[in-house]
Amino acid sequence: MTKNILISGASIAGPALAYWLREHGCTVTVVERSPEPRPGGYKIDVRGRAMEVLERMGLADEVRRHHTDMRGGAFLDRKGRTVVEMDADTVGFREPTDVEILRGDLARILRDATEGVEYVYGDSITSLTEDGTGVAVTFERSLPRRFDLVMGADGLHSTVRALAFGPEEGFLRSLGHHIAIFSVPNLLDLDRWETIQAEKGRTLNVYSTRQDTQAKAAFMFASPDLAYDRRDTARQQQVLAEVFAPHGWIAPQLLAAMPDAPDFYFDGMSVVEMDSWSTGRVALVGDAAYGPSPASGQGTSLALVGAYVLAHALAAADGDHKAAFAAYEERMRHFVAVNQKQANNIKRMVSGSGFMLWLNRTMMRLMPYLPGTAKIMEKVKAEIRDVACAIELPETRPESRTKPVRNGF
C-alpha cells in the first residue's frame, strides 16, 4: 500500500497534489527550496477544468474572492498614447467563469487547505536512490529519509526531473524569448488597470491590481538563448537593461527601480516536452513535466488538473504505481498537447517585425469601428475555452480495481 509520499515544490502543483493525496489517505511531505511562502506574485488565469478542480476542492469561492478585480487595460503607441482600451475580460480573453488571481494568493489558499501535510521550507532534494520498496532521499539540510514515491512539482527548472531524468537541456524547447517580471513604483497611478506598449521584438506591460500598493512590470523580448547563471540576478538585470534601454516611454524609470525589487524574476520562455513523465517510483506534475510557458496562459490550469488526475490515478490503482502513472499520462496527454500549442501566442504578444508591429497597432486602432469585431473576439475566447476544457475529469472518489478505496491506496 502506497502511503508515504514526498512532493518537491510548494507553489501550485505541489499543494494541489498534496491535497488530493491526503484526501486518499496518504502521509505527505512537501519540500520547498524557498525559505518561506512567497506572497503576491504576478497575475495568473484559472480556466475551464481547472476551475472545476477547485470546485471539487471546495475552494472555488475563496479563489473568486481573491480575484484581481482588474477593470481593463489599454494598448499604447510608442509615445505612450492610448491606441485602444478594453475591459479586463477582453484583454485576457476570459470567460465569466474564469478567474484571474495573484499567484501567491492561489498558492496560499491551496496550502491552507492541506491541513496535516508536512511542509519543509528552505531545503531541496540532492539525491534519489530507488530500490524495490521505495526511494531513499537526501537533502541539502535535512536528514535523509525514505518514501514510497517521490513527485516533482518543482517548476520549469525541476530538481527532481534533473535527478531522475537527466539535464534539463534535453526537455526544454526554447521559444526564442525571455520574460522578466518585478514590482515597481506605481508611476502611472494605475488602479486595477494595465497598460501594454510594444516595440519591434519587445513588449512592456505595467499593471496594478486591487491587492497591490505598487505596480508590476512585465518585460518580454525576443532573443537567442542567453548564457547566464540563473542565480546571477545582477547579470540578468544587466541583460534586461541593455535590451530595453532604447524602449522609451517609462522603461528607463522602471529599469532604474529594478535593483530594489524584492521579487525580480527573469527566465527564458520554454515549453517542457517529455516522452514520459515518470520513471520507477518518481513522477512529475505541472511545469516540471509539461510546462507550456507563460505565453500560453495555461500553466496554472495544467498544474491543477494534472495534480488531480495523478492523485486519482494512484488511488484507483491500489498501490500499483506503474499502472497509476500510465493511466495519468494516458488521460493527460491530449490536454497537455493542445494547451502547449497556446505557446504560439508569443508571436502575437511580441511583434517579430516592424510590419507586424504596424499592422497590430493599426488593427487595434480600428477595432472599435470595424464590423464583426465582437464575433472575432468571441471566436478567440471560444478557442481558448475549448482548450481549457479539453479533458474529462474522473470522478472525485475513484473506483478501485478490486475494492472501494477507504484509507490509503
**Which grid coordinates are listed for 100?**
484571474
- Judge if 184 and 153 occupy the same domain: no
Q: Are residues 55 and 114 in the same domain?
A: yes
Residue 401 lies in a domain: no
Residue 124 and residue 230 in one domain: no
Query: Which one of 346, 363, 394 terminates a domain?
Result: 346
Q: CA 88: distance to chain centroid?
A: 20
DSSP labels for 263-291? Answer: T-EEEEEEEE--S-SEETTEEE-THHHH-
Q: Residue 93: what pLDDT?
A: 87
Split at pLDDT 50, 70, 90, the class of 408 is very low
Which CATH number covers residue 276?
3.50.50.60
- Give residue 272's identity as a one-letter amino acid code: V
Section 380-401 average pLDDT? 83
Per-residue pLDDT band for 396 (boundaries 50, 70, 90) equals confident
CATH code of the domain covering residue 262: 3.30.9.30
Domain check: are 112 and 167 in the same one? yes
Q: Using one digit for the tens of pLDDT, what is the confidence trace for 175-206? A: 999 999 999 999 999 999 999 999 999 999 99
Q: Are residues 234 and 370 in the same domain?
A: yes
pLDDT band at 2 (very low <50, low <70, confident <90, very high): low
49/393 Cα distance (integer angstroms): 8
* 3-class secondary-structure state, position 291: coil
What does pLDDT average to over the chain?
A: 92
Q: Which three cell numbers stand for residue 229?
A: 547563471
Cα 304 from Cα 240, distance rounded (Å): 31
- Claim to verify: residue 297 and residue 258 sit in the same structural domain: no
| Per-residue pLDDT, 79 | 86
User: How crowded is the C-beta side of 33, counted as CA atoms within 13 Å?
Assistant: 12
Q: Are residues 128 and 236 in the same domain?
A: no
Q: Please, which pLDDT band fits residue 402 given cuts at 50, 70 and 90? A: very low
292 with 146, same domain? yes
Say how many domains are in the chain. 2
Query: Which residue segment(s) compose the domain that 123 sits in?
Result: 4-69+97-172+271-346
Residue 53 sits in the same domain as residue 144: yes
Would 390 be classed as within a structural domain? Answer: no
Could you tell me if 22 and 108 lie in one domain?
yes
Tell me, yes or no, whether 167 and 199 share the same domain. Answer: no
Q: What percent of the chain has pLDDT over 90?
A: 78
Domain stops at, among 346, 373, 400:
346
247 domain-assigned:
yes
Element (H, E) at 145: strand 145-147
The answer on 20 and 167 residing in a single domain is yes
Residue 126 lies in a domain: yes
Q: Is residue 85 part of a domain?
A: no
Residue 403 has pLDDT above 70, yes or no: no
Looking only at the bridges linking them, the beta strands covering 4-8 and 72-76 are: unpaired
